[in-house]
Amino acid sequence: MSKNQNNSLKIITIIAMMFLYAMIAFVTNLAAPVGKIWEQSFAGNPHAGMMGMLGNFCNFLAYLVMGIPAGNFLAKNGYKKTALTAIFLGFVGISIQWFSGVMDSFYVYLFGALLGGFCVCMLNTVVNPMLNLLGGGGNRGNQLNMVGGTLNSLSGSLTPMLVGALVGESLAGKEIDDVNVVLYIAMGVFALVYLVIRMTPIAEPSGAGQKVTYEHSPWAFRHLTLGVIAIFFYVGVEIGIPAGLISYLTPKLGFAAAGFIAARYWILMLIGRTIGSAIGGKVSSRTMIICVASVAIALMTAAICIGDSIMIKSIVQGSVIEVPMASTLLVLCGLCTSVMWGCIFNMATEGLGKYTAKASGIFMMMVVGGGIVPLVQSAITDHLLGYIVPIIGVAYILFYAIWGSKNVNKDIPVD
């Protein structure tokens, strides 16, 4: 194959991975707003808020169950087959969530959310190492992941806005059938992407799908082990900030307005990832994390201290209304969390060589933090004090960037 053909195949593969990045956010971000609709079924239950977060919990519980099997599946079958299997699971998962509305069954919905989680776990296992390898690792690999993260944020910002627009201000009497349009879109996109990926000649990295001998466990790398913990906290923080914002603002402003404001968080993540992808080839992952983690801790701490004491005017759905200034500070955290995923993954898998595929599965396993951290946060309170949990998470991420991300196991052969 000529050099030009190799380059063309590489570009096609990168585009395909970017598209999958967007689907990850679309499926993931359905859980929180749809969960608020199901929450109405438990009106009067003192734990209704937690019940509403169970769909999100199941979505991320799938990572704990599927993380290592997904990495093993990838190592055995290669990137294309793994991606196609994941897309199929996503279509089935969304279809079951739609069917839960027909049956009016919360537990059927939870099963659909779990399958959706299997899908995004496998997709994450594919796209992150693939883009890192296509970029040659290092800053360039991180840059490609940030470009994918930009599309991820664009897709993620549309989901709560679309659900909010379909549901309206009040959740009273609303059912999952009211957001069937979103589920139809998701099923249609999955079907289309399956056909596109199936016909796309994915460029498999050298050794993918072949039998590899592992002399050590990926856990032998300290920077991976500590990075796995960092990603647990990161995904919990990323999901917990906007999910907590919806719970905090809904009683004050209504569901649609709360979803609209929470969507700004994802839009700022889009902006942050766009900036990050532009500078990612020049600024190290470690430097980025140290900067953004420090700012995120300051913003969340300020939001807790201010509380409801300061109100500011904001344009929401075409009208000027008063919103708590604390909500704006939390929305701004989107700029900080935007670059964390790619940076943490880049630092945690740097220098792993043939261990990358298995390490990616382990890494994905701890994305379960996206279900656990918000659940703990909501269990503490729907008010701002619950943001103590994300602050602790970001503090650990800062520690990881400063000290834990150094590869001290360079003596382990990775070829």
Q: How high is the pLDDT of residue 62? A: 87
**Within a domain: 286:** yes
Measured between alpha carbons, how far is 361 from 241 in angstroms, rounded to an integer?
Answer: 25
Domain that holds residue 249: 3-201+220-404
Specify if 156 maps to a domain.
yes
Average pLDDT over residues 111-121: 89
Residue 215 lies in a domain: no
For residues 94 and 159, which has the higher predicted lDDT (pLDDT)?
Answer: 94
Look at residue 277 and tell me if it is in a domain. yes
d(C-alpha 393, C-alpha 166), whole Å? 33
Predicted confidence at residue 246, as pLDDT, reads 85
> In this predicted model, what pLDDT tens digit does every residue of 302-340 receive, in sequence order?
999 998 899 999 888 778 899 999 999 999 999 999 889
Q: Is residue 415 part of a domain?
A: no
The burial class, CB within 10 Å (0-12 / 13-18 / 19+), for 379 is middle
* Residue 85: per-residue pLDDT: 93
Task: Kindly state whether residue 59 falls inside one of the protein's structural domains.
Answer: yes
Using DSSP bridges, classify how beta strands 319-324 and 311-316 pair: parallel, antiparallel or unpaired.
antiparallel
Helical spans, DSSP H, in 29-170: 31-39, 48-52, 54-77, 79-103, 106-134, 138-167
- pLDDT of 56 > 70? The answer is yes
pLDDT of residue 403: 94
Within a domain: residue 162?
yes
| Average pLDDT of span 213-228 | 88
Name residues whose C-beta falls within 8 Å of residue 415's C-beta, 6 or more positions apart in sequence: 353, 354
> Percentage of the chain with pLDDT > 90?
25
What pLDDT does 205 receive? 61
pLDDT > 90? residue 22: no
CATH value at residue 47: 1.20.1250.20
For the entire predicted model, the pTM comes to 0.74
Residue 410 pLDDT grade (very low, low, confident, very high; cuts 50, 70, 90): confident
Domains contained in the chain, number = 1
- pLDDT 10s digits, 258-269: 888 988 998 898
Query: What's the pLDDT score for residue 394?
Result: 98
**Average pLDDT of span 145-166:** 74
From 82-96, 108-122, 126-140, 223-237, the region with the lowest mean pLDDT: 126-140
**Averaged confidence pLDDT in the chain:** 83
Task: Band the pLDDT of 405: cuts 50, 70, 90.
Answer: very high
Find out whether 280 and 139 touch, Cβ atoms under 8 Å: yes
User: How many whole angstroms separate alpha carbon 180 and alpha carbon 182?
Assistant: 5
Q: Is residue 262 part of a domain?
A: yes
